[in-house]
Structure 1
Amino acid sequence: MNKATYQQQFTTEDSPGWLAIDDQLDQIYGDTEPRHYPPLCGLHYAAGGSDPIDGASIYDSNHQEFHRHIVSYGLSELYYDEEKAGGEFSKWGFELTFRLLPFQDDQHDPIWAIQIMNNLARYVFTSGKWFEENHFVPANGPIRLDTETEITGFVFALDPELGKIQTPHGEVSFLQMVGITNTEVEKLKQNPTTDAVKELIDHLKKDNPLLITDLNRK
């Protein structure tokens, strides 16, 4: 999309990138309303807030089995900016997603998972390095703090349902955080290559096509 078309199609009141994300989610969830959580500190990052992402939406999904599907907003270009029209990638070129089986210690929505997204986004914003498919991140402990779980790291896969989209600001991949066990973390530490990560993801997909994280998995 060139600048002229962008200016014709949108106004400064619009959020073209946000709308593109919502359009993709609508294709999966239709009229299902998510629960949207704005920045947990109340302020957007650009306004001095501590949360790099501009919020996250949580959907209740019955696909494969009941789980929470969490999607970030803010690692891609969300708001009107005619200078960003038609780019190859929209800002960092991805948003984070996470699928979680209901966990017995979560009485409400798993806000801790949004905090993890913020921590990962903070790393991206401060380091200038980004995540891609088949990347691997050890959490140096349980991904849910103070929890008896063997899930102590993440690998990144393309979200099986959301995939990649073209937005007015460029391409956005929905990168899904997939929780892995301490045994899997230690094995990847010995061989942290993209091929090794892909092999693990392919193995997990055999029994779990949507790559839903289960904190009780051993």
Structure 2
Amino acid sequence: MDRETYIKTFTADDAVGWQSIDISLEKNYRDTKPRHYGPLCGLHFAAGGSDPIDGASIYDSDKQEFHRHIVSYGMSELYYNEALAGSEFSKWGFEFTFRLKPFEDDKDDPLWAVQVMNNLASYVFNSGKWFEENHFVPANGPVRLNTDTEITGFVFALDPELGKIDTPHGEVSFLQLVGITENEVQRLKKNPVTTAVKELIDELKTNNPLLITDLNRK
């Protein structure tokens, strides 16, 4: 979308990128309504808040097996910005997603997973280095703090349902966090190249095509 069309289509009050994400999610989930959470710190990042994730939507999904599907808002350009109309990528070019099988210690929605997204987002904002498909991140401990789980790291895959979208600010990929075990972390540390990460993701997809993270997986 060129700048002239952008100015004619939107106003300064429009959350242009946010709306693009919502449209994509509505196409996927139709009548399923999410539970939406604002920034965990209480103040939106654009207004001076400390958390880069300005919000997260959590959907209950019965696809493959029951799980919670978490989608971030904050890594792409969410708000009106005519100077960015027609860019190749929207800000960092992605949003985080995470599919989580219910865990017995999570009595309510797993907001710890949103905090994980915030931690990763802070790394991106502070370092200027972004994540892409087939990247790998060791957590140096359980991904859910103070939890007896063998899931101690993540790989990034393109969300199997959401994929990529074009927005007025540029392309946005939905990058899914996929929990991996300590043995898998050590395997990738020995060979931390994207082809090795992709090979592991393809193995995981064999029995888990939606790449749902199960904290009880051994």
TM range (shorter): over 0.9
What is the total number of aligned residue pairs between the two structures? 218
What do the CA deviations read for 1:3-25 (whole angstroms, capped 9, x no partner)?
A: 11001111111111001101110
Range moving further from structure 2, 142-151 or 31-40: 31-40
Kindly provide the amino acid, as one letter, of the partner of residue 111 in structure 1. Answer: L
Query: d(CA) in 1 for partners of 2:77 and 2:46?
Result: 13
Corresponding letter in the other structure for 1:105: D
Per-residue deviation at 1:45? 1.8
* Structure 2 match to 1:184: 184
Q: Which runs of 5+ in 2 are unaligned?
A: none
The aligned runs of 1:1-218 (5 Å cut-off) are 1-218=1-218
What is the CA-CA distance between 1:48 and the residue it aligns to? 2.3
SS of residue matched to 1:59: strand
Measured in 1, the distance between the counterparts of 2:142 and 2:81 equals: 39
* TM-score (norm: length of structure 1): 0.99
Distance apart, 1:123 and its partner CA: 0.2
CA RMSD across the alignment: 0.5
Percent identical pairs in the alignment equals: 76
CA–CA separation in structure 2 for the residues paired with 1:169 and 1:72: 17
Q: TM-score scaled to structure 2, two decimals? A: 0.99
Q: Deviation digits for residues 118-154 of structure 1, max 9, x if unmatched?
A: 0000000000000000000000000000000000000
Q: What are the ranges of 5 or more consecutive residues in structure 1 without an aligned counterpart? A: none
Secondary structure at the counterpart of residue 137 of structure 1: strand
Q: CA deviation at 1:46?
A: 2.8
CA distance in structure 1 between the aligned counterparts of 2:104 and 2:91, rounded to whole angstroms: 37
Q: Which amino acid aligns with 2:85?
A: A
Counterpart AA for 2:209: P
Q: Return structure 1 stretches of 4+ with deviation > 2 angstroms.
A: none
